[in-house]
């Protein structure tokens, strides 16, 4: 499993709390442009899926564990990550949050955090790209919460204060992805101030 289960639960909970806090500061800016073709509501909707997929996948136990790490998950998901279905799911999820999205997000987070607390990380779940243990899947949800709450904070002009636990886990996944892609050198040079990253660089 990726890291300790207690550490992963803490990182997920801290990322969740940050997302709920930032979403609570949207006010009347739900139609503001946020990320690509998403407005703030769609971005918040997409980010809320970091909770909803945990809930849904726990309801679909996997018969076989096919993916053994967060990096395996992202490499398998790469082929579908940029498809039009992802953008539409974000818009649909935003609409589903109803007339008070901030309250809906807080309620979803509370429900899913309680659900995660009742697990031990060894539960096999059926993700969109194959079977995984929950302990390996949950860090991908922390990654999504950290990155997309940073997107949301940027769109709102809020500080990008990623909680340390979530930042450490997200950055660890990003570094492992860079190594897997053969991009570790470029990332190391950039992180140590020796060179900038190429335009459009991404570990995903």
3-state helix/strand/coil string of 49-102: HHHHHHHHHHCCECCCCCCCCHHHHHHHHHHHHCCHHHHHHHHHHHHHCCCCHH
Q: Answer yes or no: is 45 within a domain.
A: yes
CA angle 141, 158, 112 (to 5 degrees): 25
Can you tell me the distance from the alpha carbon of 45 to that of 97, in angstroms, rounded to the nearest whole number?
Answer: 7
The model's pTM: 0.95
- Residue 59's pLDDT is what? 96
- Please tell me the least confidently modeled range out of 17-26, 77-86, 135-144, 176-185: 77-86
Q: What percent of the chain shows pLDDT beyond 70?
A: 96
**Which domain range does residue 113 map to?**
5-191
Q: How far is CA 102 from the centre of its chain?
A: 18
Q: Answer yes or no: is 200 within a domain.
A: no
Q: Answer yes or no: is 201 within a domain.
A: no
Flag whether pLDDT at 1 surpasses 70: no
Average pLDDT over all residues of the chain: 95
- Please tell me the least confidently modeled range out of 53-67, 68-82, 164-178: 68-82
- Residue 103's pLDDT is what? 98
Of the pLDDT bands very low, low, confident and very high (cuts 50, 70, 90), residue 81 is low
User: Residue 192: is it exposed, middle or buried by C-beta count within 10 angstroms (0-12/13-18/19+)?
Assistant: exposed
Total domains in the chain come to 1
Q: Answer yes or no: is 91 within a domain.
A: yes
Q: Answer yes or no: is 203 within a domain.
A: no
CA angle 105, 3, 52 (to 5 degrees): 20
Answer yes or no: are the C-beta atoms of 121 and 53 closer than 8 Å. Answer: no
Domain CATH for 98:
1.20.120.450
β 33-35/38-39 pair status: antiparallel
pLDDT tens column, 157-202? 999 999 999 999 999 999 999 999 999 999 999 999 999 998 999 9
Q: Answer yes or no: is 165 within a domain.
A: yes
């Amino acid at each position: 499993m990726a890291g300790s289960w207690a550490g992963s639960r803490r990182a997920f909970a801290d990322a969740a709390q940050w997302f709920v806090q930032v979403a609570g500061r949207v006010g009347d800016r739900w139609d503001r442009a946020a990320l690509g073709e998403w407005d703030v509501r769609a971005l918040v909707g997409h980010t809320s899926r970091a909770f909803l997929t945990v809930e849904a996948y726990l309801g679909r136990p996997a018969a076989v564990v096919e993916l053994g790490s967060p990096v395996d998950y992202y490499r398998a998901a790469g082929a579908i990550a940029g498809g039009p279905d992802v953008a539409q799911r974000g818009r649909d999820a935003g609409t589903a949050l109803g007339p008070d999205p901030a309250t809906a997000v807080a309620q979803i987070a509370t429900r899913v955090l309680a659900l995660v607390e009742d697990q031990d990380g060894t539960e096999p779940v059926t993700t969109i790209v194959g079977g995984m243990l929950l302990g390996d899947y949950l860090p991908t949800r922390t990654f999504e919460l950290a990155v997309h709450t940073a997107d949301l904070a940027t769109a709102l002009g809020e500080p990008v204060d990623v909680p340390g636990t979530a930042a450490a886990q997200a950055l660890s996944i990003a570094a492992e992805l860079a190594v897997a892609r053969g991009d570790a050198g470029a990332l190391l040079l950039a992180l140590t101030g020796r060179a900038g990253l190429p335009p459009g660089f991404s570990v995903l």
